[in-house]
Amino acid sequence: MPFTYEDVGATREDRCPPGFHRLHVRNRIGEGEDVFRRACQAVLTWEMHRAVGVAVSADAPTAAPGVDVTVAIGPIKAPCRVVWTLDEPRRAGLAYGTLPGHPESGEEAFVVDRTGDGTVWLTVTAFSRPAKWYTRAGGAATRGLQHAYAQRCGVVLRRLCAEVKE
């Protein structure tokens, strides 16, 4: 299946194509190498998404370019494909893009990074626009839900990493 938008990979450069709404949410997760490693694992294995409370069905247990993943909230299914992944000494994460049937059109990235002072952050960036009648009808409320989901990812990831000694 083809992606439902043209600028595939734009989140890697933190670009928002014309005609799309931009999302940028950054949450502090904790401190230290162990917290960083745990957060990376939770993001790249879909554990964070599942812990947020959504159903995740993926072609592979770990995110990699080309892996198809469907995120579902109740009866709403959101098919996506992983566009890119990162696995660097101080940054790791993934981005997925929307496929036909997704209520939105666009891309969303989840990146964990460890700054020079050891602080671990989760940054969620996205660009999207409605693809279904109900997301168009939702307008600003739909964007509010996307922002709340990104914030919730940070809260959940912080909880998943809380048992790690900082």
pLDDT in tens, 121-158: 999 999 999 999 999 999 899 899 999 999 999 999 99
Query: Residue 1 has what pLDDT?
Result: 87
Residues 5, 14: Cα–Cα separation, whole Å: 16
DSSP 86: E
Query: Residue 81 has what pLDDT?
Result: 98
163, pLDDT greater than 90: no
Please check whether residue 130 is in contact with residue 136, taking contact to mean a CB–CB distance below 8 angstroms: yes
Strand partners, 108: 96, 126
pLDDT, tens digit, 9 for 90 and up, residues 84-115: 999 999 999 999 999 999 999 999 999 999 99
Query: Residue 164 has what pLDDT?
Result: 72
Give the pLDDT mean for 30-57. Answer: 96
- Edge to edge, the sheet with strand 76-87 lists 21-31, 119-130, 104-114, 91-98, 76-87, 68-73, 55-58
76, pLDDT greater than 90: yes
Mean pLDDT of the chain: 95
Give the pLDDT mean for 55-65. Answer: 97
Give the pLDDT mean for 70-90. Answer: 96
Residues 25, 143: Cα–Cα separation, whole Å: 13
Query: Residue 166 has what pLDDT?
Result: 47
Query: Residue 165 has what pLDDT?
Result: 59
Residues 120, 118: Cα–Cα separation, whole Å: 6
Query: Residue 46 has what pLDDT?
Result: 97
Residues 159, 166: Cα–Cα separation, whole Å: 13
6 CB burial (10 A radius; 0-12, 13-18, 19+): exposed
The reported pTM is 0.95
Place of tokens 């992983």: 82
Residues 31, 120: Cα–Cα separation, whole Å: 5
Instruction: Please tell me the CATH code under which domain 10-161 is placed.
Output: 3.30.530.20
